[in-house]
Homo-oligomer: A and B are copies of this chain.
Amino acid sequence: MSRRKLNIGLFGFGVVGQGLYQLIQGVNYQDAVIRKVAVKDRSKPRSIPPTLITFDANDILEDESVDLIVEAIDDADEAYRLVSTAMQKGKPVVTANKKMLALYFKELLDLQLTTGTMFLYEAAVCGAIPVVRTLDNSFAFETIQSIRGIFNGTSNYILSKIFKERLDYALALKQAQDLGFAESDPTSDVGGFDAKYKAIILAKHAFGIVYHPKEVLNIGIDYLVGDDIAFARSKGWKIKLVPTLLNTQGKVSAFVLPTFVKPDDKLFDIEEELNAVILDTAYSGTHSFTGKGAGAFPTAFSVLNDIRSVLSSQPYLYQKDFIPFEKADLTEVKIEIYLRFKNPQVKEALAFESIREGFIAEGDEVIIGVTTLKKLLDCRAIIYADKSAVIGTGQVDVIKKKLQVSKLISTEV
């Protein structure tokens, strides 16, 4: 490439797009320039020169002078269309779109292979935390035993307010929305979808496994009530929305659940919109990475790092692709949960194998017992229809060919 600047075509001018535009100016970045910005809404005032703006995606996709695409729009399907077109045209893509990645991960990875076009997405997972690149670069020879974390700042902010300031869920959500942490439709955040998409991306880099979102259980914090909080508080615990990837002798389980977190857990003190990634490994022990999981500059920081990686020809290495990890049989993954329910069908459907505790809370029945990840995944709809609360206790057993491995994954080594 000659010394002329790299021309960036930017799709979307929301939080990430504006952050990138300002960051490039703020750091006085010499090697790249935003050449064109495609936006949808013609009526919205924009803080950039009108000559930069287009309302037609093709103005970017078909512009030979555009060297690289930054995709930062909301719509996952439209994003996939744009990104795949760009890659087919040989334009490297940097994206922050976790939903697009999770929904079309296999297709996008295949496209990267067949086109040889670089495709980077550090900003899609935990904002500023450089976890994709670090997993990819520094953990090639390490056996990762589990990944847990706080991947969604919005729900963590809400839970922090509930536990620290004793706000109720609705008020804490309202505050998060007022501060711009939560969307007007908060389902993706509080329902655990956003955290799941990020876990799916990490599963590829940690285990070489591509999950479809349908295969991974996500239960959110949306139906937790005062009694669930009070139960946790009475034990000195907190509840966090914890995505988990668990490797049991090469079989990987993935799920997102509200989880009781004890004071000695590294996640206990991760508060408000902070994100964290905890890796337990075979040789090098426990690693923890924390940082800002969202926001204009933290996300743009990761996008800009990916742009630099394109410039210096550093694709992800996907070094786990040749190691035989596989998806666990979910019927073999025994998981202990706290279940608060009204409709006895929920309890029936989950077919508890053992029940450790049962009591009544505000007229609802509560059970703490062991079911399987398969049952939970199959029952998500009736759990939500009942507005049941499901909270993991951190106890997950994987039964395999008479071998039982018991893991209390929240315990520090």
Contact = CB atoms under 8 A, between A and B. Distances in A.
Interface residues of A, number: 43
B138 A283 contact: no
A231 B143 CA distance: 44
Given A134-B134, A285-B292, A291-B284, A27 B129 contact: no
A292 B133 CA distance: 20
B129 A287 contact: yes
A77 B330 CA distance: 57
A138 B305 contact: yes
A168 interface: no
A312 interface: yes
Give the number of copies in the complex: 2
A303 to B, nearest CB: 10
Interface string A280-312: 011111111111100101101110110011001
Contacts of A364: none
A134 B129 CA distance: 10
A288 B286 contact: no
Contacts of A103: none
A137 interface: yes
Given A133-B137, A141-B27, A304-B141, A291 B297 contact: no
A289 B289 contact: yes
Given A141-B301, A284-B291, 17 more contacts: A27-B283, A128-B285, A128-B287, A130-B134, A134-B134, A137-B305, A137-B309, A137-B314, A138-B302, A141-B305, A142-B301, A269-B269, A283-B297, A284-B302, A285-B291, A285-B298, A288-B288
Interface of A: 23, 26-27, 29, 122, 127-130, 133-134, 137-138, 140-143, 269, 281-292, 295, 297-298, 300-302, 304-305, 308-309, 312, 314, 317
